[in-house]
A and B are shown apart, each in its own frame.
Chain A
Amino acid sequence: MDHYDMLESKSIYIIREAYYRFRNIAMLWSVGKDSTTLLWLIRKAFFGKIPFPIIHIDTSYKFPEMYQFRDRLSKEWGFELIVGRNEEKLAEGMGPGKGMKLECCTELKTNALKQVIKKYGFKAIFLGIRRDEHGIRAKERYFSPRDEQFQWDYENQPAEIWDQYKSFLYAEEHYRVHPILHFTELDIWQYIKREGLPIVDLYLSKEGKRYRSIGCVPCCSPIESSASTIDDIIEEVRTSKQSERAGRAQDKENIYTMQKLRALGYM
């Protein structure tokens, strides 16, 4: 078994265990490379037929390429797609240009997802987050006292790890399951290459620029890059010092600052 078989089988084990425990489960798909990889792993775990719905949260500000990719793949891979939109806030004109970005993310992503979870009564959600993705998320958990235990649980009792990885995004009544937590950014690209997975072509360089992380148009900016194939990207990621989300909105720090202040009752 090589490295990627190991990563894969770990993920598949978690996916199957989660499905066994929570039949009323769904997966959150951002259309980005990580959650598309997760989607592929889920497909593999159930021999090509995904037995639960896939949720896409549509802020209405995504790249057109992302919508096309979403619709194409859901048809090709034949899964049930739930599109979640916070229609009320969209009707009020909520958008990144309005106030702080956190408010926009909260309404159009978090609350839209909450609405979907409530409507369908999901008990657990699969998410494609990775431990190395962003310092704030990973690091704090990494330092968490239960992390040692987590390592052990990871192999033996996946049911208990899930509530260790509470993500700030979602209400408390459901579990979050993170089957690709142990993948690094480089692992993802190597795995995409090995499996021949489709990706949104925004990741590939056009006129000297490419997106390393994709989301809503106003909050993403491309990085300087000539990587126009997956192989080029692998080489770039291997040698890059810049953080993956460096192209995301500058006030990401403000968002986290506000979150921390609010957690203590300020703001």
Chain B
Amino acid sequence: MKKALIIGIDGVPYELLQGLIEKGCMEGLKKIIDSGYRLHRMHASLPDISSVSWTSFMTGANPAEHGIFGFTELALNTYELYFPNSRDIKAPLFWQSLREQKRIKRSIILNIPNTYPAFPVDGLLVSGFVAIDFDKAVYPGNYIPILKDMGYIIDVDLLKAREDRDGFYNDLIESMKIREGISKKLLGEEDWDIAVVCITETDRLHHFFFNEKDTPLFDSFYRKVDRFITSIYNTAIKRYGDDILFLVLSDHGFEKLKTEVNLNAYLQEAGILRIDKTREFYERIDTGTIAFAMDPGRIYINYENRYPRGCVKEDGAETVRKKIKEVLFNLRDGNGVSVISQIFEKEDIYKGNFMQQAPDLVCIPRRGYDLKGNLRKDNVFTRDIFQGMHTWDNAVLITPEDIKINKEINIEFPPGIIKDYFEKR
């Protein structure tokens, strides 16, 4: 019987993982890799946000097919802020398709971002970030008391990072330990054909501590990540033998954050965005606005036929896009360093039934310049407590070495490996 085990390590960049393996901080993983696995560099989704990227992984599809473009979205034909969740995923997930084809039966899916609220699965699903109510984060519901008894934790208290850094770091270690224990128990005792286990503690560490990536703090944290990966792997092969399909992947990379870049403050300075401060959130977008930004670097054109205070005509869009791109490429910091390194037009990167929802442009910043889409900041360049920012081009994928990859891949690729594995005789 075929089995697949996938471990997700949220926000771990290719170079960091490679470096830590070489440095000897991940001895268990090194042993596994030496037994016949390989590291690949992989692109995240666009934008490189966990909810989008993991949904691309779960569906093997691009955002215009699965319908998730960010943690935030505007409700159709309005400026009303909306938080997409698992209910908004429009494409089938790989375990659902494989189950339908009767290639597999039971799946155990733990902590993948954007799986809240929990939805039916033959097996067990526990939602990941952003899960609010634990009672809605577990399917089937009879696992709720069991998981509660085991002390399951969805996420650490993120607000603690602001008040108590050391305590927050300890919380991350502790929550990973709890996650490890429970995942081991579930994978060791329940039946499964596909198991996906994600750790999000890595992403949290990076958001608040990436400036310390070359210090013992990271080494010691990643020794625990190593223990997590190896102990889950060992549990699986002890149960089902070592010819299971084993993958490790991250959903995006990370880089040290130099400055936050408030695109909307810049668009305002450039006369492209007009704000009415008496309103809230994206309702602030006022008549005369040509375009606005949403996290992280999504640019939406304020079309007349699409938004209540829209003013751009569909047929003039080409010129408008060109102008906005020009303005964005002109954005420079105090030292004259240009901030935006690449801008994609939606037709270049998306294809599917939900093109309508897609941002018109997606910006990729120079490393260190974290693009932000909030409408509250008056200054273009600001700093907060965050030390790391997401990157697009250096997520990581570990596969068996006999899987040949000789092209650029992105996060839509790995589910294909899983499908191939179960479909081949």
B132 near A168: Cβ-Cβ < 8 Å: no
A-B contact count (CB 8 A): 89
B163 near A172: Cβ-Cβ < 8 Å: yes
Query: What's the least CB distance linking B391 to chain A, in Å?
Result: 15
The 7 A-B residue pairs whose C-beta atoms are closest, nearest first, are A99-B280, A145-B174, A263-B158, A143-B153, A265-B386, A257-B83, A256-B132
Known: A103-B280, A261-B72. Contact between A267 and B132, CB under 8 A?
no
B170: chain A residues within 8 A (beta carbon): 145-146
A112-120, A133-141, A186-194, A215-223 - interface stretch: A133-141
**CB of A232 within 8 Å of the partner chain:** no
Known: A99-B279, A265-B370. Contact between A254 and B83, CB under 8 A?
yes
B278 near A260: Cβ-Cβ < 8 Å: no
**CB of B134 within 8 Å of the partner chain:** yes
Chain B interface, number of residues (Cβ within 8 angstroms): 45
B72 near A135: Cβ-Cβ < 8 Å: no
Q: Would you list 15 pairs from A and B whose C-beta atoms are within 8 A, ordered by A residue?
A: A92-B278, A103-B280, A135-B132, A136-B133, A139-B134, A140-B155, A143-B152, A144-B157, A145-B170, A145-B175, A166-B163, A253-B133, A260-B158, A266-B296, A267-B295
- Measuring CB to CB, which residues of chain A are less than 8 angstroms from any residue of chain B? 92, 98-100, 103, 135-136, 139-141, 143-146, 163, 166, 168, 172, 253-254, 256-261, 263-267
A163 near B164: Cβ-Cβ < 8 Å: yes
- Measuring CB to CB, which residues of chain B are less than 8 angstroms from any residue of chain A? 71-72, 81, 83, 129-130, 132-135, 151-153, 155-164, 167, 170-171, 173-175, 178, 204, 207, 260, 278-281, 283, 295-296, 370, 372, 374, 384, 386
Q: Pick the contact of A261 from B71, B162, B175, B280 — CB < 8 Å?
A: B71
**Please, how many angstroms separate the alpha-carbon atoms of A172 and B385 in the complex?**
15
B132 near A140: Cβ-Cβ < 8 Å: no
Q: Pick the contact of B130 from A141, A145, A261 — CB < 8 Å?
A: A261
A136: chain B residues within 8 A (beta carbon): 132-133
Known: A100-B81, A257-B83. Contact between A143 and B158, CB under 8 A?
no
Of B132, B170, B370, B374, the most chain A CB neighbours within 10 A belong to B132
B83 near A143: Cβ-Cβ < 8 Å: no
**Please, how many angstroms separate the alpha-carbon atoms of A265 and B151 in the complex?**
28
A92: chain B residues within 8 A (beta carbon): 278
A264: chain B residues within 8 A (beta carbon): 158, 204, 207, 386
A141 near B157: Cβ-Cβ < 8 Å: yes
- A93: nearest chain-B partner, CB-CB: B278
Query: What's the least CB distance linking A94 to chain B, in Å?
Result: 9
B204: chain A residues within 8 A (beta carbon): 264
A100 near B281: Cβ-Cβ < 8 Å: yes
B151 near A143: Cβ-Cβ < 8 Å: yes
Known: A266-B71, A266-B295. Contact between A260 and B207, CB under 8 A?
no
**Please, how many angstroms separate the alpha-carbon atoms of A78 and B292 in the complex?**
55
Q: Pick the contact of B159 from A139, A168, A258 — CB < 8 Å?
A: A168
A265 near B260: Cβ-Cβ < 8 Å: yes
